[in-house]
C-alpha cells in the first residue's frame, strides 16, 4: 500500500515513532523507536533478545504511530506487518538511524554489539491520519 505524499513527507522528518507489538499470548507492548521510510516500507532496528523483536518474530502484525512534536493533534497511525528481518544489514542500519536522529554513528552500550543488530522492514497495510489536509 502506497502512503499519500503528505504522509510520506511527514514521516521523512526524524520524529520518534511508537511501535506496538503483541506477545504470543496477546500481551501488548509499545516502544519508542527510530525509523525511516525505505522503498515504501518502514525500517526499524533492534537488538537480538529485545522483547519487541521476539514479539514480531512470533506475530508479524504491528501498529506504528508518529505524533507531530509541534502539534499532538497531527499524527499518523499505521497498521502493518513485518515482511523481513535482516541481520546482515543490522549494524549498518542502526548507524544510518543514529546519523538521522543524532548526527553521528551509533554508540553501542556495553550490553550490545554490532552483530546483535537486526533490521526489521514493515509493510503498511492500513493507515489513519489526524490533522492532515
pLDDT at residue 15, as a whole number: 97
pLDDT at residue 2, as a whole number: 86
pLDDT at residue 130, as a whole number: 96
pLDDT at residue 21, as a whole number: 98
Q: Residue 19 is inside which H or E element, if any?
A: strand 17-22
Which three three-digit cell numbers place residue 42? 518502514
Burial class (CB in 10 A: 0-12, 13-18, 19+), 95: middle
Q: Block means of pLDDT (10 residues each) for the chain, length 133 residues?
A: 92 97 95 96 96 96 97 97 98 98 96 96 97 86
DSSP 37-66: EETTEEEEEEETT-HHHHHHHH--EEEEEE
Amino acid at each position: 500500500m502506497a502512503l499519500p505524499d503528505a504522509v510520506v513527507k511527514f514521516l521523512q522528518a526524524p520524529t520518534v515513532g511508537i511501535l506496538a507489538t503483541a506477545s504470543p499470548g496477546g500481551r501488548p507492548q509499545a516502544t519508542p523507536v527510530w525509523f525511516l521510510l525505505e522503498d515504501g516500507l518502514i525500517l526499524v532496528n533492534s537488538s537480538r533478545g529485545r522483547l519487541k523483536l521476539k514479539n514480531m518474530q512470533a506475530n508479524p502484525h504491528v501498529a506504528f504511530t508518529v505524533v507531530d512534536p509541534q502539534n499532538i493533534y497531527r499524527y499518523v497511525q499505521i497498521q502493518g506487518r513485518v515482511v523481513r528481518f535482516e541481520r546482515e544489514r543490522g549494524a549498518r542500519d542502526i548507524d544510518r538511524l543514529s546519523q538521522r536522529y543524532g548526527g553521528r554513528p551509533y554508540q553501542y552500550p556495553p550490553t550490545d554489539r554490532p552483530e546483535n543488530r537486526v533490521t526489521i522492514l514493515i509493510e503498511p497495510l492500513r493507515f489513519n491520519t489526524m490533522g492532515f489536509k
